[in-house]
Structure 1
């Protein structure tokens, strides 16, 4: 190979590596934009879920109080249970229901559901592609 041919090949290799560097930088910028967008979406999802829980709890509190009083009165008047024991029984029932509702809400708001899975998968694919190109 003559010297001009060797120089042209070297320029082509340099241009290819330069282009590869530009593409890698562009890929990183795009992945960062995706991560920001997905993090914003997860934050909105968390805020909406938490807001719904708070509003639902506030609205249902009035209904729970009325049900509680009705249950106590029914146990006292129709079942002949002493008022103290009817109030205790109603309180235990309400506590069990409340515990179940809180547990189900906590399960839905687990941090594992807020992981940006699309970004992680995309970054994993990009890393594998770059490793393949680097070989």
Structure 2
């Protein structure tokens, strides 16, 4: 949100405004700016929280799939030892490998979404930088 001067301040030359009017406008604009920035921060925080929740879901999915892979691998090992033939155990090992690959993919996706730079409130930071520059220009 860009700073705007009140209508009457734009019509009058700078020399005709009193210090009280200038200070009053400045503090009014700063209060409006702060309120807008807090609103933006709340909105962006809600978006980042939702993103983190989805990332947590992917991590949980990956963990459950990894557990399933372990169970399949253990079952395959038991079948291998019991039968001493490859058919049942080989099939179980193949399933375990596929579930393990799916688990790795889900964990990778979840962890990638939780990187710190992805959770930074970039819009708010950019807006604060622009507002700071605008204040510097007008003071």
TM class by shorter-chain length?
A: 0.5 to 0.7
* Structure with the greater alpha carbon radius of gyration: 1
* Equivalent pair of 2:55/2:109 in contact (CA under 8 Å): no
Partner of 1:27: helix, strand, or coil? helix
Taking the aligned partners of 1:100 and 1:44, their CA distance within structure 2 comes to: 21
Aligned to 2:64: 58
The TM-score with structure 1 as length reference comes to 0.61
Aligned to 1:20: 26
RMSD value, Cα: 3.8
Aligned to 1:127: 132
Aligned to 1:9: 16
Which stretch shows the higher mean deviation, 26-35 or 58-67? 58-67
Aligned to 1:32: 38
* Equivalent pair of 2:44/2:121 in contact (CA under 8 Å): yes
Taking the aligned partners of 2:106 and 2:78, their CA distance within structure 1 comes to: 22
Question: How many residue pairs are counted as aligned between the two chains?
Answer: 116
The TM-score with structure 2 as length reference comes to 0.59
Q: Structure 1: where are the runs of 5+ without partners?
A: 1-7
